[in-house]
Amino acid sequence: MSANYENIRRERGTLENIIGMLPGYKGYKEKEMRREADRLLREALVRDFTLQLDRITPVQNAVLDNIGVEWMDDIGALKTALQTLIDRIRHAPQGYAGFFDAVRVKEDDLDRIEEFDRQLLGELDKVRAAIDGLEGATGDPAALKTALANANKTVKAAADLFAQRSKVITGI
């Protein structure tokens, strides 16, 4: 279980603990807390990926000043790919279906969803390192080409990983 889940569980009050003993309610509440932990993790991912996205604009300006306009489309495409990933994380299903929903998410699926979200933290570190590489390559076209290729590959890998998360929920 995640640290967010454990924190949420510890913060439950006495009344919630008593109600949690009711048959049927405990499983429902556990899923609710896991959904909340998933939401908190995804909000942190959105915030941190957005910080990395914001680092690209100064790189874009430095490249424009130092090398020229011919790189703007490539850098713009990288920004679009990263923004698309951020939007998908922000609006992703929470890994839980309501009582009458057509798609039911089982406990082991919730574990797999949480694992995908944790793996995205590792992808965030890779994206951060790729943008570090971009920052260091704003004056050299050859270095910039390599850094852009690496950044695009890194963002695509993160997006592919997140796409697998959706397959867990939908089964498709």
pTM, full prediction: 0.76
Query: Considering the domain boundaries, does residue 72 fall inside one?
Result: yes
Query: Considering the domain boundaries, does residue 148 fall inside one?
Result: yes
Q: Cα-atom radius of gyration of the chain, to the nearest Å?
A: 20
Per-residue pLDDT of the chain (172 residues; tens, 9 = 90+): 555 545 545 555 554 555 455 555 455 566 677 777 778 888 999 999 999 999 999 999 999 999 989 999 999 999 999 999 999 999 887 654 444 444 455 666 677 777 888 889 999 999 999 999 999 999 999 999 999 999 999 999 999 999 888 777 666 6
Query: Considering the domain boundaries, does residue 11 fall inside one?
Result: no
Query: Considering the domain boundaries, does residue 129 fall inside one?
Result: yes
Whole domain around residue 62: which residue ranges?
A: 42-170
